[in-house]
Amino acid sequence: MSTLAFALAATIKHDGHGGIADLLATPAEAAAWLAEHQHLVTQVLLGRPGSDLGRISYPNRAVILPDADESGVRDELVRIRGAVRALFARAVAPEPPSKADAGRLMAVEDALRMVNRAADRLGTTHLEWVEEPATRWAFRTDDPVALLVGAVGRSAIDFLVSPARGLLRACPAARCVKYFLQDDPRQTWCSASCGNRERVNRHYRKRHG
């Protein structure tokens, strides 16, 4: 399962050398990430899987998603990502959160406020009846960045009140900083590679520790 908020939280990952890689480190990287995940944004804004990049259109309205180079997109994504990760940290408690930002998490109250405010910009859903009755957002803004951040906020809310929240884990492997969804109750690590690395480490510690 992939949701927008979950995908955004996953833009902080281990770099394979004991450090942390941020896939949103620069505006260009943020633009690339956004281009790759625009279907998830569209999914939230249209309430169903969207088509392709750029323009979402439906009766009487066209929304152009943030341009690749639009300034501020990266900063806004990083801000709302901080809120999402603070809420993920709370969701996995009492287990420890991802080590990437464990020491500098946003206060939960601030994270809630940010996510709720962002989602507010989408407004309410209205009934639309072209062929079949359907709902669509009656946005409170035309600002594409606000809509993008709003889509993340909405996605975070939907994720956190869904059963998927109970499957959220922070990978406990030494160098890993990933949040993942536990598919199986016996799954401890985010990936087979983390599991193998940890087994080797433990074996080594036992023999040399």
The residue ranges that bind Zn ion (CB under 5 A) are 171, 173, 176, 178, 190, 194
Output 45 or 190, the one with its CB closest to Zn ion: 190
Report the C-alpha gap between 201 and 62 in whole angstroms: 54
Residue with tokens 């799954």: 187
Q: Nearest distance from residue 99's CB to Zn ion, in Å? A: 10
54 dihedral zone (left: phi>0; alpha: psi -120 to 50; beta):
left
Output 44 or 177, the one with its CB closest to Zn ion: 177
Q: Nearest distance from residue 33's CB to Zn ion, in Å? A: 20
Output 132 or 183, the one with its CB closest to Zn ion: 183
Buried b (16+ CB within 10 A) or exposed e, 61-91: eebebbeeebeebbebbbebbbbbbbbbbeb
Contacting residues for 132 by C-beta, under 8 A, at least 6 apart: none
Q: How many residues appear in the chain?
A: 209
Q: Nearest distance from residue 198's CB to Zn ion, in Å? A: 9
Residue 66: asked if its preceding bond is cis (omega within 30°), the reply is no
The first and second tokens of residue 199, run together, are: 């087994």
Output 10 or 134, the one with its CB closest to Zn ion: 10
Output 13 or 136, the one with its CB closest to Zn ion: 13
Q: Nearest distance from residue 14's CB to Zn ion, in Å? A: 7
Output 148 or 176, the one with its CB closest to Zn ion: 176
Report the C-alpha gap between 195 and 23 in whole angstroms: 23
Q: Nearest distance from residue 175's CB to Zn ion, in Å? A: 8
Q: Nearest distance from residue 58's CB to Zn ion, in Å? A: 40
The first and second tokens of residue 172, run together, are: 């406990």
